[in-house]
Amino acid sequence: MLNMERIPRHVAVVMDGNGRWATKRNLPKMAGHNAGMQAMKEIVKRSSTLGIEHLTVYAFSTENWKRSVEEISGIFSLIVVYVEKELKELHENNVRVKVLGDYSMLPEKSVQSLEKALKTTAGNTGLQFNIALNYGGRDDIRRAVADIAKLAKDGKIDPDDPEAITEQLISDYLWTGIHHADVPDPELIIRTSGEERLSNFLLWQAAYSEFVFSDVLWPDFTPEEYERCIEEYQGRDRRFGGRNK
């Protein structure tokens, strides 16, 4: 049973298994992505109900560009569909939408839909729903390093000062940092479909995250399975490199 006193502030999810779900049913891959979108909708709702402050989903990675043009186009079309169908309800439920990653490279209609969602929900104070789009952990760190290098070039920090470039400064310039989404590191990262790897997701931010792996394919990932994962997290002893007395 969930301990409501130990609900994580930030849960991140690698939504894996849409394609396999479709293949098992002799359906096109886009049927799996569409079913996955419905599953995501329910997890957003349950996150809000549980009082989770931040939910981050890995929607499209920098490596996903290697997929077929048809699948990529279909995924981006789903973004438009999702915003059109769900934005009103998200806004009414005080959900704030943020994007992690350079979404400017997406098709124009997808960009417009995302910017509409960002603008409409900007003032909301409930669950912050972070969508990782065209996101990669290594690229995230590379961008932060480039921004910090520019600070040094402009004379705003002294690279010779050992206290100038801190872990906090690097964190601030990541997509999750104060200059973008202002998201704390995730306490819990869930990956579905039985795979057990990060796949270039939140590499810096995951330093002390707890991982829970579910064998359930993402379209079948229910709010009940979500709560089971959170309950498993709550049973962990988080020591952050130290020892309990």
Q: Which helix (H) or strand (E) holds 233?
A: helix 223-234
Catalytic status, residue 160: no
Which segments of 65-159 are extended strands (E)?
Answer: 96-100, 128-135
Contact criterion met (CB below 8 Å) for 90 and 165:
no
Fill in the DSSP letter of residue 221. Answer: -
Q: State yes or no: is 64 an active-site residue.
A: yes
Residue recorded with tokens 């390093």: 145
Annotated catalytic residue: which of 3, 26, 34, 64?
64
> Which candidate in 3, 16, 94, 124 is catalytic?
16
Please enumerate in sequence order all residues whose Cβ is within 8 A of that of 223, keeping only pairs 6 or more positions apart, or say none: 42, 43, 45, 46
Q: Are 30 and 69 in contact (CB under 8 A)?
A: no
Task: Please count the other Cβ atoms lying within 10 Å of the Cβ belonging to residue 172.
Answer: 17
The catalytic residue positions are: 16, 64
